Amino acid sequence: MVKNIDKNSERLERILDSAATLFIHYGVDKTAVSDIAREAGISKGAIYLHFKSKDELLESLIIRETERYADTWLGLINEDPNGGSIGGMYKNMLYALESNEFMGAILRKDGRILGNYLRKPGNFFELKDGQPNSRFDFVKMMQDAGAIRTDIDAKIIAHIMNMLSYGLIAMSDIMPKEQIPPLNKIVEGIGIILDSALSIESHNKNEVGKEIINQVANTRRLQHHAEE
């Protein structure tokens, strides 16, 4: 029984990996279930053992990549001595985002990749739009803990951070690549600017920040498991 579960889990991951590769390259609309099956080296019927439709497969992929991105981000923060500052949190978020190409498409709701799915009633993004914003939650908790300035509304700070995220992943579409500085220098620069603009001097702000980030992450995990 355990072997069957392991085999099914391995096949599921192979399906999702294959779908991610094809969706990024060709887009969801131009990728058929049969294409994913061929890429994964399995039968088309085997895919339908896991998913009722291509949309359901896409939604599972979105959830998986979002969780992978969050885990990568949290790991980078906890490994970084300055990961608990507002700048450290944000720069590590950008590094985690850059390491996951499909997550970039999710964040900007990329029409080339996600295609007609974005216009379908009740799609994943419609359902999530009304849910709490974890970045706003984090900023507000940092303000309440006295780790960053409070004279700017937390919603404004979170929105500016969202704008920076979108700008980073979309800039290559509007500027020649040779005019864009190296990614690590951009990310490190953003971190320095955010810390300079928002941080308040505190001997334990990194520890406070990491504690808040892990608290937000754990809350999100519990909510996700409750929804399953």
Calculate mean pLDDT across residues 186-208. Answer: 86
Nearest CA to 166 out of 190, 147, 149, 193 is that of 190
Cβ neighbors of 90 (< 8 A, separation 6 or more) are 161, 164, 190, 191, 194
Distance CA 84, CA 80 (A): 8
Task: Note the pLDDT of residue 47.
Answer: 96
pLDDT band at 26 (very low <50, low <70, confident <90, very high): very high
Intra-chain end-to-end CA distance of the chain, in Å: 22
Give yes or no for residue 54 having a pLDDT over 70: yes
Mean pLDDT for the chain overall: 87
Calculate mean pLDDT across residues 118-143. Answer: 80
Taking the model in full, what pTM does it have? 0.82
pLDDT band at 52 (very low <50, low <70, confident <90, very high): very high
The more confident residue out of 204 and 197 is: 197
Give yes or no for residue 124 having a pLDDT over 80: yes
Task: Note the pLDDT of residue 133.
Answer: 66
Q: What percent of the chain has pLDDT over 90?
A: 53
Nearest CA to 139 out of 103, 87, 69, 71 is that of 87
Task: Note the pLDDT of residue 206.
Answer: 82
Task: Note the pLDDT of residue 2.
Answer: 39
Distance CA 220, CA 215 (A): 9
Task: Note the pLDDT of residue 12.
Answer: 95
Task: Note the pLDDT of residue 217.
Answer: 78
pLDDT in tens, 134-189: 788 889 999 998 889 999 999 999 999 988 888 887 787 788 888 889 989 999 99
Distance CA 142, CA 188 (A): 21
Task: Note the pLDDT of residue 8.
Answer: 84
Cβ neighbors of 24 (< 8 A, separation 6 or more) are 101, 102, 105, 113
Nearest CA to 145 out of 70, 199, 218 is that of 199
Give yes or no for residue 42 having a pLDDT over 90: yes
Distance CA 209, CA 81 (A): 11
Distance CA 223, CA 215 (A): 12
Give yes or no for residue 36 having a pLDDT over 90: yes
Tokens 């390491």 belong to which residue? 99
pLDDT band at 1 (very low <50, low <70, confident <90, very high): very low
pLDDT band at 60 (very low <50, low <70, confident <90, very high): very high
Query: Contact 38/181 with Cβ under 8 angstroms?
Result: no
Q: Which two tokens stand for residue 71?
A: 């885990």
Which domains are present in the chain?
Answer: 1-51 (1.10.10.60), 53-227 (1.10.357)
Task: Note the pLDDT of residue 170.
Answer: 79
Give yes or no for residue 228 having a pLDDT over 70: no
Length of the chain counted residue by residue = 228
